[in-house]
Amino acid sequence: MTDDDDSDIDDSDIDDSDIDDSDIDCEYTTCLPVQVDVASGCDDDIVRAALVLPSGADHGKDVGRFIRMLMRSRHGTPFEHTFFRFVVKAPIFVLREWQRHRIGWSYSEISARYRQLEPEFWMPSLGRPIHEPEEFNPMRPELERDDALVEETIQVLSATYQAVWAAYQHLLSRGVAREVARAVLPVGIYSQMVCSCNVRSLLHFLSLRTHKLSARYPSYPQYEIEQCAKLIEAAFRERFPHTHAAFEECGRVAP
């Protein structure tokens, strides 16, 4: 920082009374909307890809059996000739977990550098397990329900969200760039992304972001991303019933 920069800082500009949180219109929600925007391909297309046949060609195979064979032998590339695109609106902490899935996934997220985020914040739902029991094991996190604690958390979150939203608005009103003002926002604020993947990468995502004791390697994902994963899995099962059945049969391990 130069001396000139220093001279621009005037403490009298920073006044708590500028931060007015008396009438803040924050919206709170537990919703995790995931929309299947585009889906293409089907079980037969996976068989055709494995046999190097063009789309629509007669493959003459028992689809269920053939896909089971591909899945068991972990012959994975035929599952890549398929496509899903999702539109996801979720708190930043969910998108951040999701975007850790790098292979076979593409992401486009709205930019808080270029636009103001909306005052829409996540709240835990009643019934969501929330309490860490005494014998809590972070590697196998199993939380207990405690709706009174959810309600207490909602109180704390709403006060916090209002305060940070007021701070964000204050900074913007002072002419601070959006890319800097966003630093006050919490991971509970909603963002939106479009993401796409193929069935192979989707299966890997489902293996890690759903909890099933029947899985060969049960995973312990956070509740919210699991809610999203369950929605996606239902859409995937409907479109690729044989692939889904083979995935289950093979212990929910992606090929």
Structure tokens at 106: 């593409």
Min dist CB 103 to ligand FAD, Å, is 4
Of 133, 220, 234, 251, the one binding ligand FAD (CB under 6 A) is 220
Does 219 bind ligand FAD (CB under 6 A)? Our answer is yes
- Supply the minimum distance, in Å, between the C-beta of residue 205 and ligand FAD: 7
Identify which range of 16-24, 118-126, 143-151, 219-227 contacts ligand FAD by CB under 6 A.
Answer: 219-227
Could you give the string, one character per residue 83-112, with x where binding to ligand FAD holds by CB under 6 A and - elsewhere? -----------------xxxx---------
Residues 6+ apart with CB under 8 A from 20: 166
- Whole-angstrom Cα distance, residue 160 to residue 21? 11
The reply to whether 129 sits near ligand FAD by the rule CB under 6 A is no
Residue number of the CB atom closest to ligand FAD: 102
So which residues are the catalytic ones? 209
Handedness of CA 238, 241, 247, 251 (dihedral sign): positive
126-162 in b/e burial notation, b at 16+ Cβ within 10 A?
eebebeeeeeeeeeeeeeeeeeeebeeebeebeeebb
Token look-up 């076979």 returns 104
What residues line the site for ligand FAD (CB under 6 A)? Answer: 100-103, 204, 208, 219-221
